[in-house]
Structure 1
Amino acid sequence: MSVEYKRCGDAQAYSNTYAVEAFGTGRFSVEWKKAADALKKALELCRGQQRSLRDQSDFLVDIAQSGAKYDADVASDRLRTVSLELQAIEQFFALEIPRYRKLVVDGWGEPHCLEHADGYMPASSLCSHGAGE
């Protein structure tokens, strides 16, 4: 479990780094492609953590239901923590899967980097490739 947790955490950090590097670049830029690839890898690796948490949860439920008193009490207490961890990783998927799809389909270009994207303001000076990309 701890190996899966570390792999997922490292992959998320790697993905976030590429997303930051892509900030302000044009749609479908090389930077956004790298960000999409890094996020895809994070999603794949974090599925391992999700599977491990589900397996651990199932095991703990079995012990809590049918184990000796001490084992059942320990399993019941541990189950709370595992359930919260599982909720957190599932929340990660609920947020990141749509983000990944937007990266792949739309290029996830920053709207503030488009000339008058909101109808009022010019492209931000933060945009590295100029307006209209």
Structure 2
Amino acid sequence: MSDEEIKDILKLKRVAVVGISRDPNKAAHQVPKYLLEHGYDIIPVNPSADQILGRKCYKSLEEVEGEIDIVDIFRPSDQVMPVVKEAIKKKPKVIWMQLGIRNDEAAKEAEKHGIKVVQDRCMMEEHMRLYK
């Protein structure tokens, strides 16, 4: 995916973060915190939390109200397919699998539904690289 395509994706602002963590030492907390601080509307999705980063936490993507631009996934690669299947129902523009996360089968499934897919890249690192 080209830098221009990534820049276009990063212009989208409503991001559901699946697998967001309460632990400030984990990337699954640091990345959404950075995005929140840079103007993104972060929607935490974690079934074991009520609130993260001062925002209401949803148990699943299905519970999220309104449109979602990007579903940002912090789950092991072998756990991505169920997240993608749930995400498809919400019709996001993009599914983003964070650095170290790749599932080609899930990516193909999303792309069949017209959803762009980014794999094995960090939203924060890409934002810092392209906008600093």
Tell me whether the two structures share a fold, i.e. TM-score over 0.5.
Answer: no
Larger radius of gyration between Structure 1 and Structure 2: 1
More strand by share: 2
- RCO (CA 8 Å, sep 6+): is it higher in 1 or 2? 1
More helix by share: 1
